[in-house]
Amino acid sequence: MTQLSINTTQNVNINFTAASIGDRILAYLLDFLAKTAYLIVIYSVFFYGLGINKLMDKMDDWSRISILVLFYMPVAFYSLLLESLLEGQTLGKRLLKIKVVKIDGYQASFGDYLMRWLFRIIDVSFSSGIVGLVSIIASEKSQRLGDMAGGTSVITLKNNININHTILEEIDVSYVPTYPLVIKLSDNDARIIKETFNSARANKDYHMITRLKTKIEDVTGIRNQSGNDEDFIKTILKDYNYYTQKM
């Protein structure tokens, strides 16, 4: 499988495994089944069960088209809506444990998902998926054209990783947090902080640790109460895990 090395804005390399073509195709087929099931239910319940089709016979062409477009919109916008709501996943992607991510290490935005959705017309619809398939195979980061335009890629979440490679920190059941404002951070922020901190400690880059401490203070409004930058960042990570595990 293709390995993706994502360089964050903190100059930390994070390695992911790109989702396989098989997983991406299977996720697409599962999404297709979900959309098909939706249409079957809509036509069975609304058009035939409630007799909307008979009412449409009495309408003009534009009214009939408007109603059909209204019911078809969830299918047309399926991937855009679900990827935006489920942070890079559709139902198919979630079942296959794959996810859309930004190649700069941050969470993809609605604009990124929109770009991927627009390019589906070229990648999938008009070419029956051939353009997208060729792009994924040819790209170093397993990107279809929509991914290239949106600065994204699709990764697998099936990696075997341990606690040192995640945002998790081991904390005692009796642990008392110090900084409640850490909840201003996102999971991605916490991951970047941990990766940057571990890298800086390994390289004895104390200047980077100080810069990281200052950045955390600027973003969260927290002020270092320990007087030691390393202890402060360790506490931030533990507090973040404490509060997010309680939610």
Rg (CA), the chain: 23
**Angle formed by the axes of helices 78-85 and 110-120, to 10°?**
160
pLDDT tens-digit profile of 29-85? Answer: 999 999 999 999 888 887 777 677 777 777 788 887 888 888 899 999 999 999 999
Task: Please give the Cα distance from 211 to 227 (Å, whole number).
Answer: 15
The average confidence (pLDDT) of the chain is 83
| Tally: H helices and E strands in the chain | 11, 4
- The amino acid sitting at 204 is K
Q: What is the pTM of this model?
A: 0.62
Q: What angle do CA 144, 150, 153 make, to 5 degrees?
A: 50
146-158 core/surface letters (b: 16 or more CB in 10 A; e: else): bbbbbbbbbbbbe
Is residue 145 within 8 A of residue 134, CB to CB? The reply is no
Of the listed ranges 4-8, 134-138, 204-208, the least confidently predicted one is 4-8
Q: Closest Cα partner for 14 from 142, 106, 124?
A: 106
pLDDT tens-digit profile of 114-158? Answer: 999 999 999 998 888 899 999 999 988 889 999 999 999 998 877
